[in-house]
Amino acid sequence: MTSLSLKDVSKSYGEVEVLRNIDLEIEQGELIVFVGPSGCGKSTLLRMIAGLEKITGGTLEIDDVVVNDVPPAQRGIAMVFQSYALYPHMTVYDNMAFALRLAHKSKEEIDTAVKSAAETLQLTQYLDRLPKALSGGQRQRVAIGRSIVRDPKVFLFDEPLSNLDAALRVATRIEIAQLKESMPESTMIYVTHDQVEAMTLASRIVVLHGGNVEQFGAPLDLYERPANTFVAQFIGSPAMNLITAEVTATGNVTSVKMTDGGHADVPIASRDGDIADAVKLGVRPEDLTVTESDDYLVSAEVEIVEALGETTVLYFKSQNGGEALIAKLPGIHKIDKGTTIRLTAVPEKLHLFDNEGRSFLYR
């Protein structure tokens, strides 16, 4: 059973601390995705797991063995880079076989491992080709195959799709998902800045920001119950709307009043802290609907209309002193720029955040 445990892991370059107090427990068979903005430390954390970056503080355990000082080649880890890193003068077969030859495996073992991996990745017909004769997606599959033949304890993927165009990204993402299904016992850690990859591939997602773990959980948990305003706006596209509102509480019902006369009652069964500290109402663009009723959440003037066919995205003039508002409506809606419309949402889809950005629903 291959599990990873990061306990109070930190990373500093001189006096500059880039990761701090990282605690993660990763179980066998999980596909964990690290996401976050550029510079948040996600690739650094992956490289620390691989042994390519030294851990400044804390411990990394693989199968309950501390590996802080274990060389990369002895950790049982295989890494797939975004640059493919294939040998251009070697065939696909030889690229996949190279590490096994260095490990002095027999010719029969190498042939069995390479052909098995090639069949899994649908590369059998390309084994005699050079990398230059392959598409970007095929080259990435060869890079993945080179890792599979080593039968590692853990697979690490460092933004493997970033060099592909949009269509190939989708196709290769599906192939990686299928690969994971065919290897249910394999533990994989995947770094990306693309939240679609994170939401569709991950067993659980680690959201990193400023060197800290903001939230760690299942994709839909992060989407439906973000721990704070950063996660709320990072997960989901378009980002969650955050609106300043007047908040009061009676029993387990929280009343929200908007500056334009809109309002809502938000059911919160339990609260940690004074609800008066709630200063932001959160609502996802896709949870807003148009209404003509006096019972509405917010009204706003349409500034931009994006008619996408399957959806219509409305951008409204800034609300409440600078806060933008976006609504994502299913289907086609003929709404003119400059129109003022009322929007509402079911109370269960609303979120409240305190003055430090923490969610009342997550607590």
Chunked mean pLDDT (size 10), the chain, 363 residues = 89 94 95 94 95 96 94 91 87 94 92 92 93 89 90 91 84 87 91 92 96 96 95 93 82 76 72 62 94 90 93 85 84 91 91 87 58
Full strand arrangement of the beta sheet holding 351-354: 241-244, 278-283, 351-354
For residues 349 and 287, the answer to whether their CB atoms sit within 8 Å is yes
CA distance 220 to 2: 25
Would strands 298-307 and 263-267 be described as parallel, antiparallel, or unpaired? unpaired
Q: What is the gyration radius of the CA atoms in the chain, in angstroms?
A: 24
CB atoms within 10 A of CB 152: 18
DSSP state of 205: E
pLDDT of residue 297: 92
Q: What is the DSSP letter of 323?
A: E
CATH of domain 4-234: 3.40.50.300
Least Cα distance to 48 among 4, 102, 16, 82 occurs for 4
pLDDT at 219: 96
Backbone angles phi, psi at 198, to 5 degrees: -60, -50
Sign, CA torsion 213/219/221/223: positive
Which residues on neighbouring strands pair with residue 59, listed in sequence order? 7
Backbone angles phi and psi of 38, in degrees to 5: -55, 135
Binning the chain into helix, strand and coil, the percentages to the nearest 5 are 30, 35, 35
Residues 6+ positions from 65 with CB-CB distance below 8 Å: none
What is the per-residue pLDDT for 251? 66
Question: Which of helix, strand or coil describes residue 178?
Answer: helix
- The predicted-structure confidence for 69-107, as pLDDT tens digits, reads as follows 999 989 999 998 878 789 999 999 999 999 899 889 999
Q: Provide the pLDDT for residue 276.
A: 58
By residue count, the chain amounts to 363
What residues are paired with 80 via a beta bridge? 157
Q: Which two tokens stand for residue 235?
A: 């997960």
Tokens at 112, concatenated = 């069995």
Instruction: Say if CB 136 and CB 154 are below 8 A apart.
Output: no
Q: State phi, psi for 288 to the nearest 5 degrees.
A: -85, 140
Give me the CATH topology for the region 241-354.
Answer: OB fold (Dihydrolipoamide Acetyltransferase, E2P) (2.40.50)
Among the listed residues 116, 120, 83, 113, the one whose alpha carbon sits nearest the alpha carbon of residue 99: 113
Q: Amino acid identity, residue 32? A: I
Question: Structural domain boundaries of the chain?
Answer: 4-234, 241-354
Question: Residue-wise over 278-315: b if at least 16 C-beta within 10 A, else e?
Answer: bbbbbbbbbbbeeeeeeebbbbbebeeeeeeeeebbbb
* DSSP letter, residue 49: H
Query: Would you say 60 and 224 are in contact if contact means Cβ atoms under 8 Å apart?
Result: no
Instruction: Name the pTM for this structure.
Output: 0.89
